[in-house]
A and B are shown apart, each in its own frame.
Chain A
């Protein structure tokens, strides 16, 4: 089985507009792979939206489930994982109604117009960039975060690619910070440490790499957090 991915942007936008007008998903038009995704996500979303009315709780649990589910599928390869058109297809053809319920808006950014904000991609990559080897450990390091951390984490394109090990260690280290150390005052204004860490990382990557830093990736992560411990 493989994903039949629509890449014509005009057709994607037309399908998105059709959903806005009709508010209906024509499941008969979905390939088996995308129909499976739709059924899985719909069921998971309904379950989590009943358990909690907090948007972050829904995103976190849905993201964990989606990560598990997609990585169990043989057709879901590393190249599909990074394919923006795949995520647009999921958002527009498979789960546009789920996105509409979750975000209570038809803002095109969550469907196709902003690659990194496409909803299924955002929650998937939030988990992928935080993954600790299993669902339970990953949940535990992420449970105290918010939708702000999702945005800060995934909406940060890098022209030199992503080091997954580095991101996952940053997330683990961040989860170990006491709550009262996750926001600091800078010039009298509260600043989120999570964002400051990633800004520092971007600045440091101009002149070094975690792999060559003293102590390797662990030493590099400790350096990123040294001002905030």
Chain B
């Protein structure tokens, strides 16, 4: 597995949390000329952002999408100097990268104003247009800081700091924005468990599946310390999307068999509370033809579905 060793200090988690306490996203589109409307979204599932396309006309094929990113900064002076990540008199800039391996696209936009060496609180804002039809299904959005201008003079206590222009000093945030489809089905968390722990753990706990939101009651945990984690990490070259799908199908199988054992699948209605566990069951039954007669039919029909449409599930 590729590892990058930095010889210079980069943005630590502590510094990140203190200096960049909040990053906010908002989305807009032009329904008609000069008539911009906002689009609601769900970002409760891991790093994923899923746009709400039920209550507006937006779709990726027909409309551009404006992405507005606002970064809150508190006391950026902590970034500069011997205890920071860049020498005094240097200038730290911010940028956002929009990229997709599937869509073979990568763009970078730089914020107009660099990060000032002061103790004030600021909000930096950047807008970017994702052109219609430019991505196949999703786009990764990565916000980073970099050394925009090097310091002409570096004091003796700051010689250990990177003073090379153009070097990335840290990543503030990374999201995956789903432009098509519903994004990931349940929260996915990447945790550094024990090496001997399982590669993945799925858990679901509900009181009333007709009302409880699926994304609130379930979670999938991926063990980043497992030797095979590289196979399910989208950033790795050996990433196996099919394996990820198998994990998700097995997780869904657990959900459906638990519901079946508890009698919830005897009479499946066509409408339930939006986002509820049973609304997912209804969707899989009516739209994806999952057969809930027995554990075997559930398993077989999930496998059939994943075999046909695996690219659209995750």
List residues of chain A with CB under 8 Å of any chain B CB.
7-8, 77-79, 81-83, 125, 157-163, 206-214
Contact = CB atoms under 8 A, between A and B. Distances in A.
B146 A212 contact: yes
Chain B contact-residue range equals: 20 to 34
B237 A214 contact: no
Interface in B122-161: 133-136, 140, 146, 148
Contact of A160 (B106, B133, B167): B106
A125 B311 CA distance: 22
B33 interface: no
9 contacts: A78-B133, A79-B135, A82-B102, A157-B101, A159-B101, A207-B4, A209-B108, A209-B146, A214-B166
Given A157-B237, A208-B166, A77 B136 contact: no
B104 A82 contact: yes
Interface in B1-58: 4, 6
Q: Which of B105, B140, B235, B237 has the most CB of A within 10 A?
A: B105
Contact of A161 (B4, B103, B168): B103
B84 interface: no
Given A77-B133, A79-B133, A211 B105 contact: no
A211 B235 contact: no
Contacts of A159: 101, 234-237, 239
Given A207-B168, A208-B166, A208-B167, A78 B134 contact: yes
Interface in B58-108: 93, 95, 97, 99-108
A70 B103 CA distance: 17
B108 A212 contact: yes
A211 B133 contact: no
A211 B167 CA distance: 11
B100 to A, nearest CB: 5
A161 B136 contact: no
Nearest 10 CB-CB pairs, A to B? Answer: A161-B106, A161-B99, A213-B166, A211-B108, A162-B104, A208-B166, A214-B165, A161-B105, A163-B106, A160-B99
Contacts of A78: 103, 133-134
Contacts of B166: 208-209, 212-214
Contact of A211 (B95, B102, B136, B236): B95
A209 B236 CA distance: 19
A162 B108 CA distance: 11
Contacts of A77: 133
A209 B97 contact: yes
Contacts of B95: 209, 211-212
Contacts of B239: 159
A165 B102 CA distance: 18
Contacts of A160: 97, 99, 101, 106, 140
B110 A211 contact: yes
B2 to A, nearest CB: 8
A208 B95 CA distance: 11
